Amino acid sequence: MKPGDDVRLWVEFKCPICSQELKDDRDLANFLVCKNNSHGLLRFYTGDGCFFTTDHKVAEALLLKGRKVHVSDPKGFVQLE
């Protein structure tokens, strides 16, 4: 590759819990979402790479994988669940 070459990147985001592809969150800009029943609703903020969940066990699993995560009140984060 040399300077001036046209480079196109495609980034695929996968859920770190169930490995399904994260989908565009239609409720919030800059968020991706996974709605797998095995872990409940999980949101990913593309701005800083943080995950949001209401489940403490899911949060612990994400922390063990080295991910940034926030545990949110279900009523306080645009109806997370």
**Average pLDDT score over residue span 28-35:** 92
Collapsed DSSP state (helix, strand, coil) of residue 64: helix
Q: β-pairing, 68-71 with 23-24?
A: unpaired
Q: What is the pLDDT of residue 80?
A: 47
**Average pLDDT score over residue span 27-44:** 92
- What is the domain partition of the chain in residue ranges? 23-71
Q: What is the pLDDT of residue 77?
A: 61
Q: What percent of the chain has pLDDT over 90?
A: 64
Assign 3-state DSSP to the chain and report helix, strand, coil percentages, each to 5: 10, 25, 65
**Average pLDDT score over residue span 16-28:** 93
pTM of the model: 0.77
Q: What is the pLDDT of residue 8?
A: 66
